[in-house]
């Protein structure tokens, strides 16, 4: 039951983008097509899960025992950047069209504040085991993916209608994201 509550909380109630406002850059930048946003979501799931696992281990067995917690942010960023490089190399070989579609936003995963935020957040939860931390990261990344794919679908539909010239582009995207965030607030009583 505990994990069901964690899933509902991470995906719907405390969505990393729509409730915590982390990862907005890629949310707005890669959400023009559903296929591209789904690819970005998959990359974020992989990087967030793996980086949280590695950073939790580093925090527990290196930074805390040797009193090096002041290096936490730097170490976590290095781990995330390394993992993003791995994803970039894999995507370039496995799916060149997705690699091209993600463009500049793929390297930006390394500076995606959602990934760093979750890595730091789970270290501040002393009751989380390594499994709990990793699952929390996976469920949060799934929430990220759900939000960006829904948003991309809305933007694709929006491209089919006539939008007033003053609202075209980023302004209408921000309005739609605000409405989407309010829709997700409706799930607040689930947890």
Other C-beta atoms within 10 Å of 124: how many? 8
For residue 182, give both structure tokens.
């309010």
Question: What's the Cα-to-Cα distance from 112 to each of 16, 67, 93, 109, rounded to whole Å?
Answer: 12, 27, 23, 5
Distance CA 116, CA 121 (A): 8
Angle of CA points 115, 116, 119, to nearest 5°: 90
Phi–psi pair at 65, nearest 5 degrees:
-60, -35
Mean pLDDT computed over 172-191: 91
Report the length, in residues, of the chain. Answer: 191
Domain layout of the chain by residue ranges: 10-184
* Confidence (pTM): 0.90
- What's the pLDDT score for residue 107? 77
For residue 29, what pLDDT band results from cuts at 50, 70 and 90?
confident
Mean pLDDT computed over 126-139: 95
The model's pLDDT over 51-103, given as tens digits with 9 standing for 90+, comes to 999 999 999 999 999 999 999 999 999 999 998 888 889 888 998 888 887 77
């Amino acid at each position: 039951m505990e994990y069901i509550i964690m899933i509902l909380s991470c995906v719907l109630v405390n969505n990393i983008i729509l409730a915590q406002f982390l990862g907005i850059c890629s949310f707005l930048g890669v959400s023009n097509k559903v296929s591209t946003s789904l690819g970005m979501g998959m990359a974020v799931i992989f990087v967030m899960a793996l980086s949280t696992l590695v950073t939790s281990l580093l925090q527990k067995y290196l930074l805390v025992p040797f009193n090096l917690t002041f290096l936490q942010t730097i170490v976590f960023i290095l781990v995330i950047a390394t993992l993003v490089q791995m994803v970039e190399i894999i995507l370039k070989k496995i799916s060149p069209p997705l690699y091209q579609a993600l463009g500049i936003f793929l390297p930006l995963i390394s500076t995606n504040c959602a990934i760093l935020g979750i890595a730091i957040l789970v270290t501040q939860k002393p009751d989380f085991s390594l499994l709990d931390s990793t699952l929390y990261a996976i469920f949060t990344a799934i929430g990220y993916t759900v939000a960006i794919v829904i948003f991309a679908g809305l933007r694709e539909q929006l491209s089919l209608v006539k939008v007033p010239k003053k609202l075209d582009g980023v302004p209408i995207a921000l309005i739609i994201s605000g409405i989407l965030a309010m829709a997700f607030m409706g799930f607040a009583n689930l947890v």
